[in-house]
Amino acid sequence: MTAEHTTANATCTATQATTAEDLLGTTPIADLERLIAAKELSAEELTRAALDKAARLNPKLNAFTDLHPDEAIAAARALDDVQTRNGHTTGPLHGIPVAIKDENDVAGYVTGYGGAAFTHVAEHDSAVVGRLREAGAIVIGKTRMPEFGIWPWTESSANGYTRNPWNTLRSTAGSSGGSAASVAAGIVPVAIGGDGGGSIRLPSSFCGLFGLKCQRGRVTASPNRNLWQSLGVIGPLARFTADSALVYDVIAGSLPTDPWPAPPLDRPLSDAVRSDGPISPLRIAVSAKNPTGGPTADRETLDALKATADALAALGHHMEHIDPKYPAITYEFLAQTAAGVAEEAARADQPQLLEARTRRLLALTRPLRPLNASAIRHGIAMGLEFDRTFFADYDLLITPTTPTPAVPVGQLDGQGAIAASLKAVGASSYTAIWNVLGNPAAAVPSGFSRDGLPLSVQLIAPQNREDRALAVAAQLERVRPWTGRLPEV
């Protein structure tokens, strides 16, 4: 820390602002909280740094739909005032700037679902946004997504491409691509995404982040009854495993209206990532097999999978190369996707502004919607059976997250609904099965390609064992750290 950081003056100097910007991309939330608690850093200083960085980088990345500078700075000043009066911070995220994916309600702003068909302003925060604010987080803006999160690339006719901070000619993947870009670029320490077929894990893979898809029902989707039926979950994208665990500790919890509540966790997930206790050797299966018959991962991705498995073996875990007998999930996934997209599209107040590709997809998938209830039952039953069989013998499964590193932007250019859907199935072929079955699954950085693009492996845990995936990911972060290398953008 420089001498300028010993003041709590809300009007920061250029040196302070620069240093605060650096902290956003390099410092775990717990360490930022210690600086704020010691009044070496103020909530307003950190928030201004995030807003300044967002304003400077968003024209290059197209990560944000909206930035909320006046509201964010007012909220930060209020937190600083409360801390001055009470002598302590207000919660575990006091003064931490966060970004929110555009499918979540933020009071006073349009919930746009990534397109142009929505103009109504949300009157209230979603439950997740409310929980973040109660913990002291400051919402600086909303982030880009493809329309309704349909596609695994953050592109739309209304909003163009969202670009990867590691190489702006490359995709962030999707659908939480704006959230991924905002974290990877060091604008915010953490951003909220959603995952109905890989939409937290795919952008984490392409952008060099840690992204855990939690257990089905772990986080409420309120005020909505669900997110893409039983497929979708809401959760953070982060650079540090500890930041992901901390945010989940804040936002986790079901409501009586939730259709598939997860059982309460036995302990905070933050406990799982602590380094002061040994982890018993685990039985970990390693498989490069594509669960849905999609493309086999490329050589660099497979080499990274092997290097990660070798690191886990060196940590004392028992590694076994085995290809699980994956259930077929096409019907269960497509029927729920069709119903979920139709439900969200019905909320549009300007339906004529839906993308032509979306309108065509809605028409093509209409016959699938009546199968939704059956698809939900089958998917949940298959998840329980996979747990009873495969995870009776193994504690974790490790696979690639994506078949390749980040692909070029423009993946949807010239693609109609059918061609885009077929292409999307391959892109999410390692991830979508875990949305159907419901298991926790995490994208963990595993190195870099020859072109300097992030690589990723996926850790899949038994049902309701997010703690196990987090504990092993934290081990990997310590022995194969990824947080020290930042994109040049």
Cis peptide bond N-terminal to 487, omega within 30: no
Judge whether 451 lies within some domain: yes
The verdict on residue 355 lying in a domain is yes
306 is catalytic: no
Q: Is residue 80 part of a domain?
A: yes
Please check whether residue 389 lies inside any domain of the structure: yes
Q: Which range of residues forms the domain containing residue 343?
A: 19-479
State percent of the chain over pLDDT 90: 94
- Mean pLDDT, residues 126-153 taken together: 98
Residue 139 pLDDT more than 80? yes
Answer for the pair 272, 242: CB distance below 8 angstroms, yes or no: no
Q: Which of 42, 171, 175, 182 is catalytic?
A: 175
**pLDDT (mean) for 101-108:** 98
Q: Which of 53, 101, 142, 213 is catalytic?
A: 101
Token pair for 158: 């209304």
Q: DSSP state, 450?
A: T
* Residue 407 to residue 164: CA distance in whole angstroms: 10
- Give pLDDT, residue 275: 80
Number of domains present in the structure of the chain = 1
Domain-located, residue 88: yes
- pLDDT for 32 equals 98
Please tell me which residue in 42, 156, 182, 199 is annotated as part of the active site: 199
Nearest to 442 by CA among 206, 198, 250: 198
Helix (H, G, I), strand (E, B) or coil at 321: strand
101 is catalytic: yes
pLDDT at site 399: 98
CA 61: distance to chain centroid? 17
10 within some domain: no
| pLDDT of amino acid 89 | 95
Quote the pLDDT of residue 276. Answer: 73
Confidence class of residue 489 from pLDDT cuts 50, 70 and 90? confident
Q: How confident is residue 471, by pLDDT bands cut at 50, 70 and 90?
A: very high
Please give the average per-residue pLDDT across 443-447, as a whole number.
98
Q: d(Cα 474, Cα 468) in Å, to the nearest integer?
A: 10
Q: How far apart are CA 154 and CA 33, in angstroms?
A: 32
461 within some domain = yes
Span 129-145, average pLDDT: 98
Residue 53 bears catalytic tag: no
Instruction: Quote the pLDDT of residue 488.
Output: 87
Q: At what angle do helices 241-251 and 29-37 cross, to 10 degrees?
A: 70
Q: What's the CATH number where 438 sits?
A: 3.90.1300.10
Q: Is residue 14 included in any domain, yes or no?
A: no
Burial class (CB in 10 A: 0-12, 13-18, 19+), 378: middle
pLDDT digits (tens, 9 = 90+) for 242-267: 999 999 999 999 999 999 999 999 99
Q: What is the pLDDT of residues 6-59, one digit of tens each?
A: 333 333 333 344 489 999 989 999 999 999 999 999 999 999 999 999 999 999
Q: Which residue has the tokens 């380094």?
A: 275
pTM: 0.95
Q: What is the pLDDT of residue 8?
A: 33
